[in-house]
Copies of this chain bind each other. A is one copy, B any other.
Amino acid sequence: MSNRGMLIVLSGPSGVGKGTVRKAIFEQDNNKFHYSVSMTTRQMRPGETNGKDYYFVSQDEFESEIAAGDMLEYARYVDNYYGTPLKYVNKMLEDGKDVFLEIEVNGAMQVRKKCPDGLFIFLTPPDLMELRHRIIERGTDDLATIDKRMHKAVGEIEMMQNYDYAVVNDEVPVAVEKIKTIIRAERWRVKRFLPNYKKQLGDVFK
């Protein structure tokens, strides 16, 4: 009988580089996480693959999933839905696998309520001006969208206090190493460690 896996949630403001950091973690040979691919109604960007970067679905399809209660979390963000289908996540956790979610902050708070024993990591920009710069450089959004995102980002940084850890994304390899250190350490947190330890001690402990 395996122990239940750990749910790891990486979130942070739009444009902070969550996707880049997550990909860098998963490109390393020694990663042992299972990535839960999100579902979205936004347009596919150049270089993205359906079923790998996201499940790209229509608005009707997404709303059907919500209505059926099949989403662990979802958010409507810049006129598009983003969310995590529930069934794969639960199956992997029950099989003792660690599941890694990379999601928006609203979604992360929904997951926190449903899975309070998850590990919640907030990725944050070096400063807000740097965030603004990054969004502009990506060049896929108009200025009204950027301002909307900037305004949202200030509120999101206030939300940091709802997370367990915060990592500044100043350099991707550094952020990746910090996140991996956090996940390693978290395995020895008493709330995760004690149930298994008691089981190991068995009769001696009684």
- Measured CB to CB, the residues of A under 8 A from B are 122, 124, 127-129, 154, 157, 160-161, 163-168, 178, 181-182, 184-186, 188-190, 193-194, 197, 200-201, 204-205
Taking CB atoms, residues of chain B closer than 8 Å to A167 are: 188
Question: With A and B bound together, what is the CA distance between A157 and B193 in angstroms?
Answer: 12
- A120, closest chain B residue (CB): B190
Are B164 and A127 in contact, with the CB atoms below 8 A?
no
Taking CB atoms, residues of chain B closer than 8 Å to A161 are: 190, 194
A27 CB, min distance to chain B CBs, angstroms: 22
Interface of A is mostly: helix
Q: What is the copy number of this chain in the assembly?
A: 2
Taking CB atoms, residues of chain B closer than 8 Å to A205 are: 128, 154, 157
Partner of A193 from B166, B186, B189, B200 at Cβ < 8 Å: B166
Taking CB atoms, residues of chain B closer than 8 Å to A165 are: 185, 188-190, 193
Question: Contacts A165-B185, A185-B184 given: A190-B160 contact, CB under 8 Å?
Answer: yes
Give me 30 A-to-B residue pairs in the complex whose CB atoms sit less than 8 angstroms apart, sorted by A's number.
A122-B190, A124-B197, A127-B204, A128-B201, A128-B204, A129-B204, A154-B205, A157-B201, A160-B190, A160-B194, A160-B197, A161-B190, A164-B190, A165-B185, A165-B188, A165-B189, A165-B193, A166-B188, A166-B190, A166-B194, A166-B197, A167-B188, A178-B185, A178-B188, A181-B184, A181-B185, A182-B185, A184-B185, A185-B185, A185-B186
